[in-house]
Amino acid sequence: MYQDRAAVQTQYADAANLRARSAIYRFGDPGATPWPRWVFDQLDLPAAARVLEVGCGDGGLWKRNLDRLPPAWRAVMLDLSPGMLAAARLDLPAAQFAFAQGDVARLPLVDARFDAVVANHMLYHVADRAAALREIRRALAPGGRLLATTNSEAHLAPMRDLINEFLGDLSPLRDAKPFTLENGASAIGAVFANVERRETRGALRVTDAEAVVAYVMSITGAPQYVVGDRLDELRKRAEGEIEQNGAFVLPTAAGMFVATP
């Protein structure tokens, strides 16, 4: 989805659509480890690590782990979108975070600088993943690692089906996903010598129909196409599912590739 650069920039001009989709995860198991905390748990970096996050979005990974951030870590947050970078700057300490606008396929950074490059749910947006992966490898210091997260094909499958139904041929989710837990290792393995896969699974039990509607409406094309009677139908569909089953149940299946050159 969203592999066209212009489409990515439109969808992520600011943090609004990302936040609308992220909000659905409040319906997860309260006893489960939240996704940003799970990702942070996998980093396992030196006490004075240098980290680059490509496609950093609104900086949510770091904002939800500030209480665990080692004081000597330094991070560069890179994104195509000025709006995303503006959102990322909020609440991240300037002493530890720098910000750069740029394309992961043409990193505006020197060679061999970082102990880790984090690509958190973003490589499926990149049109030239091979170039991006080569650039990430170039940016890694000796002993450095790529930590690239993505979803399984099974992740939120009922929501994907609902979006495809209501958007039809306009849905950016209809095509095969280009970088998933099932197929991502081969792409990374073409550039990196060692690739390890880690994953976590669970489920969301969404009890608020408006949360389902908001998620669908955050998708490119939905605000223009899902209107009037069609929007009413979407709302009724979500309400009916919740009334019949007690919740709109969405399986979650996501994970991370940890790769070294």
Q: Report if residue 228 sits inside a domain.
A: no
CA distance 168 to 171: 6
Q: Report if residue 239 sits inside a domain.
A: no
Looking at residue 22, what is its pLDDT?
86
Identify the three-state secondary structure at position 259.
strand
The CATH number of the domain holding residue 61 is: 3.40.50.150
Q: Report if residue 26 sits inside a domain.
A: yes
CA distance 122 to 135: 15
Q: Report if residue 20 sits inside a domain.
A: yes
Tokens of 179: 């970088």
Looking at residue 12, what is its pLDDT?
56
CA distance 6 to 167: 20
Looking at residue 136, what is its pLDDT?
98
Looking at residue 2, what is its pLDDT?
45
CA distance 73 to 93: 11
Calculate the alpha carbon distances from 257 to 120, 145, 193, 199, 241 in Å.
Answer: 10, 10, 12, 9, 34
Tokens of 246: 């007690």
Q: 44 with 21: CB under 8 angstroms? A: no
Name the helix (H) or strand (E) containing 236: helix 228-245
Q: Report if residue 105 sits inside a domain.
A: yes
Q: Which stretches of the chain drop beneath a pLDDT of 50?
A: 1-2
User: The domain containing residue 26 runs over which residues?
Assistant: 5-155+176-205+253-260
3 state SS for 207-230: CCHHHHHHHHHCCCCHHHHCCHHH
Tokens of 23: 């909000």
Q: Report if residue 243 sits inside a domain.
A: no
Structural domain count, the chain:
1
Identify the three-state secondary structure at position 151.
strand
Q: Report if residue 167 sits inside a domain.
A: no
Looking at residue 19, what is its pLDDT?
76
Q: 167 with 226: CB under 8 angstroms? A: yes
What are the two backbone dihedrals, phi and then psi, of residue 32, each rounded to the nearest 5 degrees?
Answer: -85, 155
Instruction: Provide CB contacts within 8 A for 84, sequence distance 6+.
Output: 12, 14, 15, 18, 56, 57, 58
Question: How many of the other CB atoms lie within 10 Å of CB of 243?
Answer: 9
Looking at residue 244, what is its pLDDT?
97
Q: Report if residue 118 sits inside a domain.
A: yes
